Structure formats: structure tokens, C-alpha cells
Structure 1
Amino acid sequence: MNTSGKATTLSLLNFKSLPIRTFWITSIAFFLCFFAWFGIVPFMPDVVKDLGLSPDQKWNSIIVAVSGTVFARLLIGKLCDKYGPRICYTWLLTLGAIPVILLGFVQTPMQFIICRLFIGFIGASFVITQFHTSIMFAPNIVGTANATSAGWGNLGGGANRLGMPLIAAAVISFGVAETEAWRYSMIVAGVVCFLMGIVYFFFTKDTPNGNYAELKATGELPVAKKDEISFVNAIKDYRVWILFLVYAACFGMELTVYGTMDDYLQNAFQLERSTAGNLVLSFALMNIFARTLGGFFGDKFGKLKGLRGRVLFLAVILGVQGIMLATFSGMTGLAFGIVFLVGFSLSVQMAEGATFSVVPFINKKAIGSISGIVGAGGNVGAFVAAMVLKSKSAVAEKIAIAENQHLGQEAVETAQALASAEAVSSGYLLIGIFVIFTAIVSLAIKFSTEDEQAVASEMKNIPSYS
């Protein structure tokens, strides 16, 4: 530890350390939030049948689940700066558990959509996790800590594909009807989130030196008026909005690509649904290490080249991501296609980790607000890209149906699948070009000489740094 109490190493088994204990609790909380947020996805065929959802209602429920997160992330970052991560996470978990539980009791499509809107708010957990690790770890390791906590938390979005069916199987074994299992599974997920909120309150602190309320009382933290000034300064900083665009280009594109990849692999390469689904799940599980690598190399480049080094690595890995996706979009053979898809998966997750190795150094008085704005960028990017892909695919499929309807149902389905694959392929190419453009723009992020010197000085005061 250094004199400020921040951890200078990521010693995962040192549970006596407050920063390490906080790292584990915030990572687990983030995992549970993502698990609950996407928990209904494996059950959507059952939900459609049970509630009689129309295709439009199904898509609307997906859209509101992502849209709600945008506003929640913008708000929660500012609240973290003002009240601290401990109280914010406690309330997010306990209140966010309510719509998760209520989803198990819905009877109409509208009730289902409303619950999914409010469940989307727990996606703001990402912001609190990044904020809490940012103020618990020293500059030499903060990128690695941020990336690891985020990567392990993101696993919740993939683990639900395995975990939720297991919960359903368990409740069925107690005599619950199979058609009702999805309801009980969501209730279980909500209760676990609620209990985690209690754990967060009693077993973490806002900073290595104590909670916000105590520190504000002693004058160690700014009062509310200065908090407002910090937030205004944050939204005026052009670097924040470049990072907003950067996170849209990495996390936003990851969400969109993986959300459409199942169908694309089936249509473009004639894979079975189960095989395509397992491939996509394996890419999601790469978060175990890939995002951590992004933060790790961000820290290493920070050691070699200062804050500018972190930006340079971010630009390079983002450029690699764009090249990988653009190249994959033109692949017609499965073997080479998988190679470039793995390259995309690795680089996009590393770019996410690298982004939040830069965020803590933009404005240390408004880390929460900046994390919220940048985090929201990911969801905005996902929403825009999804709408582009959906519209391109819909137009192409309608044309294919109209041109082949006289040839029979099988011919129509084949033409429709081919048209969809071609439309999504061209969409991936556009996304890849956008990512490369964003990588170039990211080079405009600059730091003052004073900022560079301040971080360099802080590094020298870290005994364990080498």
C-alpha cells in the first residue's frame, strides 16, 4: 500500500486488504447485476408463448432494456461523485432487485416491457464498479484492476445462458411446472441481488480512508456545491466525449455484433443453431482474461510513456479491432472467418479494458461522472448499430421474399437467409470502418504537462512499483 491507502498490487487472495475485499465484492455485485439484466434471454421462447408477445413487443422489450441503461449510467456516475459508491451500489442492488422479482409475476406484454425497462437500470452497476476500483487502486495498477473487475462482471451476461437453465431445472425438481420455471428463476435472481446489496453496505467502504460522509465531515472531500462544479467541468471536457465515442466503438459494437452473430453464422456459414450459440458464448467467456489484458497493457504503456502511452495503446488496439471486424465481414470460409472473429473478440475486449485505464486520469474530481458518460456511450453505440443492422437486414429480406415468393417456401427461406447474411456482412464492414475512424480520433486525447508530472510523481511514491 502507499500512503493514501490505495492498493499498488492486485493481490487477489489478500482479503485483509480493504481495496482487495472491495474489488471482489464489487466484481461479484457487477456479475449478479448482468446475470439478472440478461437473465430472461434464455427463456424468451417460453415468455413469447406464455405471454403471447408479438414480434414488435419482443423487440421493444429488448430495446427498452438497453435504452434504460443509458440514462441510468449518466445519472449514477454523478451520484457516485456526490454520495460515494457504497451507498449508490446498495440502493441500486436493493431497488433494482424489485423489477427483477416482479418480472416473475407479469401477466401481460405491457407489464413485461415495463419490468424490462426498469431492470435495464441495473446495467448502471458497471459505472459504480469502475468508479470504486478507480479510487481503491494506485495509478500503476488501476487499469488492470478496472479491466479485471469489469471483465469478470461482464461474464454475468454470458453465464446466464448456462446458469438460468440450471436454476430452472432446480425449481422444476421441486415440483414447479416447466412452463412456470422462468418466473421462479427471475425471482431467485432478484432475491440474490437484494441480498448482495446488504453485503455491499456492511462490507465495503467508499475509499481506502473511509466513507464519504465521514470524509466530508472532516473536509477531506468537497461539499455539494463543488461537486456540481466538477460535474460541469467533466461535461465540458472534449476528452470525455471522445472516450464516449471510443466506448461506443468497442463495448457498443461488441454487444451488437454478438447479439447478431448467432443468426449470421447460421445464415452465412450454414452452422447449426446450437453450434453458433456455443461459439458466441465462448467469445463472451473470453472476458475472463481479454479485458484484463487491455488494462494490463494500458498500465504498462503508462509506465513507459506516461498518460500519452495509455492513449497510444488504446488507439492501436481499437484500430486492430476495426481491421479484424472489417476483414471478417468479407470472409466466405468458416476456418478463416473464425480466426478473424477470435481476433475481433480479443481486441474489442482489450479496447474496453484500455478505455478504462485512461478514464481515471481525465479528472480525478469527477471520476464517477466521467465513468457514467463513457459507460453510457457503450449503450448508445449498441443501440445505433443495432438499429442500422436491423434496418439493412429488414429491407434486404423483404426484397428477397418479394423476388422469390413464386418459387416456394423453401426457396424463399434460403433467399431470405442469404439476403440477411449479405446485409449484416455489409453492416459489419461499416462498423469496422467506424471503429478505425474512432481509433484515429482517440489520438486527439491530450494531457497537460502538469497532469503528466503529477502522475509521474505519484508513481515514484509507490514502493512496490517497478
Structure 2
Amino acid sequence: MSSLKFNLFSLNDNMKVLHYSWVAFFITFLVWFNHAPLLGLIAKSLNLTSEEIKTLLILNVALTIPARIFIGMATDQYGPRKTFSVLLLLCSIPCGMFALSTNFEQLALARFLLGFIGAGFVIGIRLVSEWFPANQLGTAEGIYLGWGNFGSAAAAIILPAVALFIGGDNGWRWAVGATGIISFVYSFVFYFGVRDTPQGATYFKPKSSKAMEVTSVGDFYLLLLMKLPLFATLALLNWKLSPEGVSLISQNITVIIYLGLVVWFLYEVYNAYQVNKDVFVTPVDPIHQYSFKQVAVLNVLYFATFGSELAVVSMLPLFFSETFDLDIVFAGLLASTYAFMNLLSRPLGGWISDKYGRKKTLIILTTGLSLGYATMASITGDWPLVLAVAAAMGCSFFVQAGEGAVFAAVPLIKRRLTGQIAGMTGAYGNVGAVCYLTVLSFVSYSFFFWVIAGCAFIGLMMLFLMQEPKGSMAEIMPDGSVELIQVD
């Protein structure tokens, strides 16, 4: 692995992999959010109701939570090169289905399946960690996350222009279909352009892909505890689709899904025990131990950071419009400044982590995040508009830099489990978004921001339980010898 000076514009293999990776991530978010800026045209073309539009938005995130867990496991087991290529290839199919849909039911099925592509970012976290040393990893992961995440903003900028340029009732179909073609073509570009590891390096795999490994009895029970919010959120999404919500599914189907989630959770408990039952009998050698508490803390922090970003991006145009009595188009333009901060904020959060330490950086950024949302909770129509936008942008910096700092720490916990850890942490971001948006449906904007500020404060308190990654982590080579990988 290269320890040369970090040069973003060099032609070294590690930089090539970084650029291949963020472009792949960019395309996944371009596809995942290709419907959002075109909903007005889609609704007009197919005569969709307001409730059907809201249902599409829910379906777009429903599958992403379990998908991130599954993709994390697949990445650790089969490698990022194969996993990312297959994901891009397969998800081009429901993208084409969405573009060709002629009624709401077809749109809904395609949108539900497209939620799977939202898990793509997990793959690059593991791939980038294989190619950069610990003292450059935060910067590299931050660039990967920040530039890739910009795919959602690019969709909002480019796709309406494409649809309007083509014109007619089918303009949106060509715009959506084009993103599917891009995903299909790039799946082959990515497959032939990257390797999982530098030449001669070993790609460490977990002992099982059925469940995450832990190294103590206490960590086993903590793992089960951290699975509960994931299933609770899926149950909440099921409720939203039920007759008590938007009535997309019948009461009988709702009950079947609830029972299925219970059975699925019990199956997860069974798999976790099968993979980790040895820790109840024989203590794990200290050199091979890792603390799952680190994962739990990062999960909560991503719940507060990326979860709030997804929620706030969804509601900020309406917030500006209603608070300051603005035209919705102008309000949306102002709100876009929140998402645009990603280009610099995430890389900067990773770079600061490399330079000053993971824990210290997270403490500072999470404090700023909590104070930022407390400030947004105090915004009223009496504020100068410029000051309100500045407050949103300042808050956005701490949110997105915090996301970069979280994933500067994720790859330093246990190398062979990086995909699974990134998958669980990433899933908590979606859990946060669903929870925050559900809260928003019952409370005022001000109380909504206070809830996020409170969650960030809880994350800040939990940070004091986190240990700064130091020394090295041990992985077992195929020949049985032990390799020590530096984490500081």
C-alpha cells in the first residue's frame, strides 16, 4: 500500500482506484435520486395523486436499510470489484423498468427495487481502505463520500434539463433511462478498471458471511441490541404503507410483513449465535479482539449526521418557503446550498481526522452539529433571510464533515469486517432519516430541529466511550501467520 504524499491528480494505482470508486458511487446516487427532480413531470404524465407521489418517496428508501447490510456482507465475502460491478449492472434493470412504466403499480415496484442501489457506497468504503494507509485514509474516504454523494445534487441539476430539452410527455423517461444506461456501461468499466487490493496484498475475508463476528460475550448482546432499530424502522415503513398510512398494501399483507420481520430477526439472532458461539466457551486471543462498542458509537453518530441530512434535504425547501413566504422554486434553490456543501465538507472532515485524530475530530464536529441544529430551531420569519441561509450552510458543514469523520474511523476497526461495519453504520443513516421524517409529520419545524440537536448531543455523550484507533489490528494470512495492519 502506498505511503507516498497524497496527490489527488497523480496517476498512481491508488488514486486511479479512488477515482473509479467515487464515480461508481456518484452513479449509484444519480440513479437512486433520478426520480426526485422529475416527480412533477412524472405525476403529470401518469396522472399520479399526491399520496402516490409520497408513496414513491417512501418506497425509494424502504429496501436500502437491509440492502446496506447485505451488500456489506457481500463486499467482505466476494470483494468490492465484483460486488460493485454486479450492483451497477443489476440495478440498471429496475431503472429501465421505471422509465418504461405506464401506471403507478409499475412505478412503485421499480422504485422499491431501486432502493437497493442506495447501498452502493458501502462497497467503496472497503475498497478505498485497501489502497490507502491509515494517515491518508480519512482524506481518501472523505473524497470518495463527498464527491460520490454529489450524484443526488447532479440528478437535480442535470435531469430536469435533459427532460425539458427532449420535451413532451416522455422527456422524463429518456432522462431516467439515460441514468440506467450509464449504470450498465460503467459496471463493465469498473470491473476491468480496478483490483480489490494492491499487487501482492491479501484480501482478508470474514470467517462467515451469515453474520458479523464479535470477540466477546458482551459484544454479542450489543450486536443484537443494535439490530433492533433496523427492524423497528422496517416495521415503521410497513405501517406507513398499510391502510393506516398511505394504503398501498392491504391489512393482511401488512400483518404478514410484520410476522416476516419477527421471523427474520429471530433468524438473524440464530445466525449471529452460530457465527459467534465460540466466544461463550473460549475467550478470543487479545491480539484478535476488537470492540463492537466502537461500531455502536459510529452507528449513533451516522444516525445523527447522514440521517439528519437525508431528512433535512427533503424538508428544507418547504421550511424556507413557509417560514419566509417564498416561491417554492426559489426556496428550493436556497435549500440546495445545504447539499452542495458535500463537495468540500466530507473530504475536509476526513482530512481533519487524519491530521488531528478520529475521536477529537468527532467530538468537535458533533458539538458543532448539535449547536447548528439548535440554531436552526430558533429561525423564524423575523430573521434576515441571508442569516437563515448562512445558518443552514454552517449546520450543513458540521453534518457532512461529521459524516466524513465517521467513515474515517470505520475502516480502522477490523479490516476483514469493514464492509459489514460500513453496511450497518450506513443503514443507521437511513434509520435516522425515516425516524426524523416521521417525527416531522407530527411536530413543528422548530421541534423537529430540536429533536435532531438532541440526538446529536446523545451521540456526543457516547463519543466519550469511543477509543481512538491506535497501534495495529491483526488479520490472519492464508498460511496461518498473522499480519499487523497499522491504524495510526
Q: TM-score band, normalised by the shorter chain?
A: 0.7 to 0.9
Q: Residue 359 of structure 2 contacts residue 468 of structure 2 at CA under 8 Å; is this kept in 1?
A: no
Paired with 1:124 and 1:323, the residues of 2 have a C-alpha distance of 30
Matching residue of 1:324: 372
Paired with 1:162 and 1:221, the residues of 2 have a C-alpha distance of 39
Which structure 2 residue ranges, 5 or more long, are not aligned?
A: 224-291, 476-482
Paired with 2:469 and 2:395, the residues of 1 have a C-alpha distance of 33
Q: 1:444 to 1:451 in 2, by over 3 A?
A: farther
Alignment partner of 1:225: what SS? coil
Aligned counterpart in structure 2 of residue 192 of structure 1, from 182, 188, 191: 182
Aligned counterpart in structure 2 of residue 428 of structure 1, from 449, 456, 467: 449
Matching residue of 1:311: 359
Aligned counterpart in structure 2 of residue 92 of structure 1, from 73, 87, 94: 87
Paired with 1:435 and 1:223, the residues of 2 have a C-alpha distance of 33
Name whichever structure is richer in helix by fraction.
1
User: What TM-score do the two structures reach when normalised by structure 1?
Assistant: 0.82
- In the alignment, structure 1 residue 25 sits paired with structure 2 residue 46: no
Alignment partner of 1:141: what SS? helix
Query: For each residue in 1:208-254, what CA deviation from the matched residue of structure 2 results, as whole angstroms up to 9, or x when unmatched?
Result: 136xxxx7xxxx45566356686455974122122111101001101
Paired with 1:320 and 1:224, the residues of 2 have a C-alpha distance of 36
| Cα offset, 1:27, TM superposition | 0.6
Query: For each residue in 1:128-179, what CA deviation from the matched residue of structure 2 results, as whole angstroms up to 9, or x when unmatched?
Result: 121211111110010010011110011111111111023224434xxxxx21
- Superposition map of 1:105-120 within 5 A: 105-120=100-115
Query: For each residue in 1:352-386, what CA deviation from the matched residue of structure 2 results, as whole angstroms up to 9, or x when unmatched?
Result: 00101111111122111101110111111001111
Paired with 1:80 and 1:386, the residues of 2 have a C-alpha distance of 30
Query: For each residue in 1:402-432, what CA deviation from the matched residue of structure 2 results, as whole angstroms up to 9, or x when unmatched?
Result: xxxxxxxxxxxxxxxxxxxxx1121111211
Query: For each residue in 1:321-366, what CA deviation from the matched residue of structure 2 results, as whole angstroms up to 9, or x when unmatched?
Result: 1111111111220233223212101110110001011111111221
| Cα offset, 1:301, TM superposition | 1.2
Matching residue of 1:416: none
Matching residue of 2:10: 14
The amino acid of 2:401's aligned partner reads M
- Superposition map of 1:43-58 within 5 A: 43-58=38-53
Paired with 2:23 and 2:111, the residues of 1 have a C-alpha distance of 22
The amino acid of 1:56's aligned partner reads E
Paired with 1:153 and 1:248, the residues of 2 have a C-alpha distance of 19
The amino acid of 1:14's aligned partner reads S
| Cα offset, 1:71, TM superposition | 1.0
- In the alignment, structure 1 residue 179 sits paired with structure 2 residue 131: no
- In the alignment, structure 1 residue 101 sits paired with structure 2 residue 93: no
Matching residue of 1:81: 76
- Superposition map of 1:61-80 within 5 A: 61-80=56-75
Paired with 2:192 and 2:63, the residues of 1 have a C-alpha distance of 28
Q: 1:457 to 1:156 in 2, by over 3 A?
A: closer
Q: Residue 469 of structure 2 contacts residue 487 of structure 2 at CA under 8 Å; is this kept in 1?
A: no
Q: 1:446 to 1:188 in 2, by over 3 A?
A: same
| Cα offset, 1:11, TM superposition | 1.6
| Cα offset, 1:268, TM superposition | 0.7
The amino acid of 1:301's aligned partner reads Y
The alignment of Structure 1 onto Structure 2 pairs a total of residues equal to 405
Kindly, what percent of the aligned residue pairs are identical? 29
Matching residue of 1:378: 429
Matching residue of 1:225: 207
The amino acid of 1:441's aligned partner reads M
Paired with 1:25 and 1:197, the residues of 2 have a C-alpha distance of 11
Q: Residue 141 of structure 2 contacts residue 407 of structure 2 at CA under 8 Å; is this kept in 1?
A: yes
Q: Residue 322 of structure 1 contacts residue 433 of structure 1 at CA under 8 Å; is this kept in 2?
A: yes
**Superposition CA RMSD, Å:** 2.4
Q: Which runs of 4+ in 1 moved over 4 A?
A: 220-224, 226-230, 232-235, 447-457
Q: Residue 471 of structure 2 contacts residue 486 of structure 2 at CA under 8 Å; is this kept in 1?
A: no
Q: Residue 266 of structure 1 contacts residue 273 of structure 1 at CA under 8 Å; is this kept in 2?
A: yes
| Cα offset, 1:312, TM superposition | 2.2
Matching residue of 1:261: 316
Matching residue of 1:159: 154
The amino acid of 1:11's aligned partner reads N
Q: 1:457 to 1:83 in 2, by over 3 A?
A: closer
Paired with 2:198 and 2:484, the residues of 1 have a C-alpha distance of 21
Q: 1:221 to 1:14 in 2, by over 3 A?
A: closer
Q: 1:241 to 1:106 in 2, by over 3 A?
A: same
Q: Residue 158 of structure 1 contacts residue 285 of structure 1 at CA under 8 Å; is this kept in 2?
A: yes
Matching residue of 1:389: 440
Aligned counterpart in structure 1 of residue 340 of structure 2, from 262, 281, 285: 285
Query: For each residue in 1:306-333, what CA deviation from the matched residue of structure 2 results, as whole angstroms up to 9, or x when unmatched?
Result: xxxx112112201211111111111220
Q: Residue 312 of structure 1 contacts residue 443 of structure 1 at CA under 8 Å; is this kept in 2?
A: no
Paired with 2:341 and 2:101, the residues of 1 have a C-alpha distance of 34
Q: 1:459 to 1:329 in 2, by over 3 A?
A: closer
Q: 1:225 to 1:276 in 2, by over 3 A?
A: same
Paired with 2:469 and 2:376, the residues of 1 have a C-alpha distance of 39
Which structure 1 residue ranges, 5 or more long, are not aligned?
A: 173-177, 303-309, 393-422, 461-466
| Cα offset, 1:271, TM superposition | 2.0
- In the alignment, structure 1 residue 209 sits paired with structure 2 residue 199: yes
Matching residue of 1:37: 32
Alignment partner of 2:63: what SS? helix
Instruction: Judge which range, 268-277 or 82-91, deviates more.
Output: 268-277
Paired with 1:43 and 1:284, the residues of 2 have a C-alpha distance of 18
Paired with 1:294 and 1:261, the residues of 2 have a C-alpha distance of 23
Q: 1:352 to 1:88 in 2, by over 3 A?
A: same
Paired with 2:159 and 2:52, the residues of 1 have a C-alpha distance of 22
Aligned counterpart in structure 1 of residue 463 of structure 2, from 424, 442, 457: 442
Paired with 1:453 and 1:72, the residues of 2 have a C-alpha distance of 28
